[in-house]
Amino acid sequence: MDLTNRVALVTGGGRGIGQAIVMRLAAAGAGVIINDIDQASAESVAAQVQATGRPSLAVVADVSDAASVAKMMETALAALGRIDILVNNAGITRDRIILRMTDEDWDKVLDINLKSAFLCTRAVLPGMLKQRWGRVISLSSVVGICGNPGQVNYASSKAGIIGLTRAIAREVASRGITANALAPGFIDTEMTQKIGESVREEVKKRIPLGYLGSPQDVAEAVAFFASPEACYITGQVLSVDGGMAGAWW
Ligand code: NAP
């Protein structure tokens, strides 16, 4: 899985799964642009990449905002000249049962989790189309496949990622660009640490492998989709969930 001379952009790359993806792609030889809404974490991860000898750049931007995305792409292309691999990773949760969910809870989650993927993909595609090579890899979730109480906003955004991925895959397949999605189960990051120990123990019972995944587990699958070896795979959703989606019901 050699990515030498490739350049990747990872959204929400400042911590958690995004950070692991950044470091894994750099280990495979790619230069990496680290986007995050938080400057300190983006810069810290960029410095870690730099220490491996790969080019890197931290770009602070809110990926749910079209103007921010346009500015981010301008900065990224000016610095590194190209984007070969886009990883749509930034995401949030705002959990509440539907009867208590506000319009703002819905809009915020759909904007950051789904609209961001539309905006970033639309922005990187012209360069990929020109060079006739590209990889668009987006983070869905087991919840986008199976649903989850308290998460109608999050589940809808993650199901939307699957539709977006499959539509993009068909639109650009003839130009050497693939689009795939990952559906992680419960991965041990700040996002899942906030759910509380008792709920985490309950969740473990629903995972056939019996433990939460690590950000590294997801990063390995991203590296595969990004690699030349995955050239004939597009429009797919790969579960990285310890068997959870298959055992959900
Ligand atoms: P995380 O630890 O909360 O990290 C998310 C990152 O995205 C943070 O660095 C965050 O910045 C950044 N971010 C949030 N809003 C942003 C915005 N508007 N623009 C740019 N960056 C933004 O989450 P994670 O667990 O690593 O999850 C990464 C992705 O995997 C998400 O799409 C998530 O839905 C998906 N996923 C996670 C799990 C899981 O179990 N953890 C399971 C399935 C899918 P701040 O630090 O400033 O907030």
| pTM, full prediction | 0.98
In a domain, 37, yes or no: yes
In a domain, 28, yes or no: yes
**Domain count within the chain:** 1
Q: What number does the ligand 1 atom closest to the CA of 184 have?
A: 43
Q: Whose CA is nearest to atom 3 of ligand 1?
A: 191
Is the Cβ–Cβ distance between 196 and 206 less than 8 Å?
no
Is 14 close to ligand 1, i.e. is its CB under 6 Å away? Answer: yes
Interior CA angle at 184 toward 106 and 201, to 5°?
90
pLDDT averaged over every residue in the chain: 96
How many CB atoms neighbour CB 64 within 10 A? 23
For residue 5, give the nearest of 74, 76, 84, 79 by alpha carbon.
84
Distance CA 73, CA 132 (A): 19
In a domain, 246, yes or no: no
Report the separation in Å between the CA atom of 218 and the middle of ligand 1, taken as the mean of its atom positions.
13
Q: Give residue 195's pLDDT.
A: 84
pLDDT higher than threshold 90 for residue 199: no
Q: Give residue 48's pLDDT.
A: 98
Residue with tokens 């360069």: 127
Report the SS3 class of residue 83. coil
Q: Give residue 196's pLDDT.
A: 85
Distance CA 224, CA 137 (A): 10
Q: What is the CATH number of the domain that holds 66?
A: 3.40.50.720
- The residue among 13 and 190 whose pLDDT is bigger is 13
| Residue-wise pLDDT tens digits, 20-41 | 999 999 999 999 999 999 999 9
Domain coverage including residue 100: 7-238
Q: Give residue 35's pLDDT.
A: 98
Q: What number does the ligand 1 atom closest to the CA of 68 have?
A: 19
Task: Give strand pairing partners of 179.
Answer: 136
Is 12 close to ligand 1, i.e. is its CB under 6 Å away? Answer: yes
Contacts 24+ apart (CB under 8 A), 41-45: 41/14, 41/15, 42/13, 42/14, 44/14, 45/13, 45/14, 45/15, 45/19
Report the SS3 class of residue 187. strand
Q: What number does the ligand 1 atom closest to the CA of 90 have?
A: 7
Report the separation in Å between the CA atom of 112 and the middle of ligand 1, taken as the mean of its atom positions.
9
In a domain, 247, yes or no: no
Q: Which residues contact 14 (CB under 8 A, 6 or more apart)?
A: 34, 36, 37, 38, 40, 41, 42, 44, 45
User: What mean pLDDT do residues 59-68 have?
Assistant: 98
In a domain, 183, yes or no: yes
In a domain, 2, yes or no: no
pLDDT higher than threshold 90 for residue 104: yes
Q: Give residue 152's pLDDT.
A: 98
Is the Cβ–Cβ distance between 2 and 230 less than 8 Å?
no
Report the SS3 class of residue 245. helix
Q: Give residue 249's pLDDT.
A: 55
Q: For residue 61, is it left (φ>0), alpha (ψ between -120 and 50) or beta? A: beta
| Residue-wise pLDDT tens digits, 8-18 | 999 999 999 99
In a domain, 248, yes or no: no
Structure tokens at 59: 């770009």
pLDDT higher than threshold 60 for residue 7: yes
Is the Cβ–Cβ distance between 36 and 18 less than 8 Å?
yes
pLDDT higher than threshold 90 for residue 248: no
pLDDT tier at 103 (50, 70, 90 boundaries)?
A: very high
In a domain, 113, yes or no: yes
- The residue among 202 and 127 whose pLDDT is bigger is 127
